[in-house]
Amino acid sequence: MDHNSIISVENLTKKFPTGDRDFAALKDVNLKFSQGEFAGLVGPSGSGKTTLLNIIGSLDSPTEGKVSVMNKDISSLSHKESAHLRNLHLGFIFQVYNLLPIYTVFENVEFSLLLQKRTAAERKKAVMEALEWVGLQSFANKKPAKLSGGEGQRVAIARAMVKRPAIVLADEPTANLDAANAHIVMKTMKKLNSELKTTFLFATHDEKVMSYLDRMIRLEDGRVAEDEHVEHKKEVL
């Protein structure tokens, strides 16, 4: 096992049963990520980005190969251990951010902390800090229906970040946003990446997201076609 990698994917193949024969959505994928990376899986629709992100996040399982997250072989984990890894160390951000409409912004962000043993005062401090990271402290008592799309996605970032996870997995986080909000959301995540050393892994086909990435992994038909480190473009930071 490679102890320097926060995520390690070895010879990963994922097959889905379709009719009379299996369809391979991922084919012999090998990737390693270090702590603090700001990396993205890019490539056309259907290339396997979401499937790979879901397997790394223990939301789906490999058919063949080995995936380690924080030095734990995820297929060796019990249901409880797997939930523990997700609850403590992983944050998820999706295209559809699914805030719970009957709860306030504060309560939506607080939710993931309820799974951890923290006092109400500790939770309040963590939630308000997370809302400050995304510039939405004054929205704490608002209901999601009062938010714009960009604000909603920033609340989703606060919700993912509030437990200070080691890794954030973000699947097409800008897909429902206009250009201005997409840039605000990306800048917010890049800042958190720099300040907290959180590892970010994106799945995206949005050029705007790509312009922020330090590393781009291009998937084509379930294979890694390209894996390149990108020179920092100062103007976007």
Q: Which residues bind ligand ADP (CB under 6 A)?
A: 16, 18, 23, 25, 43, 45-51, 203
First-to-final CA distance of the chain: 34
For residue 203, the minimal CB distance to Mg ion (Å) is 6
> Please, which residues bridge with residue 92 across strands?
169
Partner that binds at residue 48, options ligand ADP, Mg ion, none, CB closer than 5 to 8 Å by kind: ligand ADP
Euclidean distance between CA atoms 117 and 123, whole angstroms: 10
Helix (H) or strand (E) holding 192: helix 179-196
Euclidean distance between CA atoms 35 and 199, whole angstroms: 5
Best CA proximity match to 136, nearest among 115, 114, 156: 156
Q: Which residue has the tokens 């959505």?
A: 25
Partner that binds at residue 16, options ligand ADP, Mg ion, none, CB closer than 5 to 8 Å by kind: ligand ADP
For residue 48, the minimal CB distance to ligand ADP (Å) is 5
Residue 90 has which token pair? 């992983």
Residue 82 has which token pair? 């797997």
For residue 17, the minimal CB distance to ligand ADP (Å) is 7
Q: Determine if 68 is a binding residue for Mg ion (CB under 5 A).
A: no
Q: Determine if 50 is a binding residue for Mg ion (CB under 5 A).
A: yes
Partner that binds at residue 23, options Mg ion, ligand ADP, none, CB closer than 5 to 8 Å by kind: ligand ADP
For residue 2, the minimal CB distance to ligand ADP (Å) is 25
Angle between the N-to-C axes of helices 179-196 and 149-161, in degrees from 0 to 180, rounded to the nearest 10: 20
Binding span for Mg ion by CB under 5 A among 24-32, 41-49, 112-120, 226-234: 41-49
For residue 232, the minimal CB distance to ligand ADP (Å) is 26
For residue 39, the minimal CB distance to Mg ion (Å) is 16
147 in Cβ contact with 180 (< 8 Å): no
Best CA proximity match to 154, nearest among 179, 171, 173, 141: 173
Q: Specify the residue, 170 or 184, whose C-beta has the smaller distance to ligand ADP.
A: 170
Partner that binds at residue 157, options ligand ADP, Mg ion, none, CB closer than 5 to 8 Å by kind: none
Partner that binds at residue 154, options ligand ADP, Mg ion, none, CB closer than 5 to 8 Å by kind: none
Question: How far are the Cα atoms of 89, 172, 175 from residue 185, in angstroms, in the given order?
Answer: 21, 12, 11
> How many residues in the chain?
237
Q: Specify the residue, 27 or 142, whose C-beta has the smaller distance to ligand ADP.
A: 27
Q: Specify the residue, 18 or 78, whose C-beta has the smaller distance to ligand ADP.
A: 18
Partner that binds at residue 232, options Mg ion, ligand ADP, none, CB closer than 5 to 8 Å by kind: none
**What are the residues binding Mg ion (CB under 5 A)?**
49-50
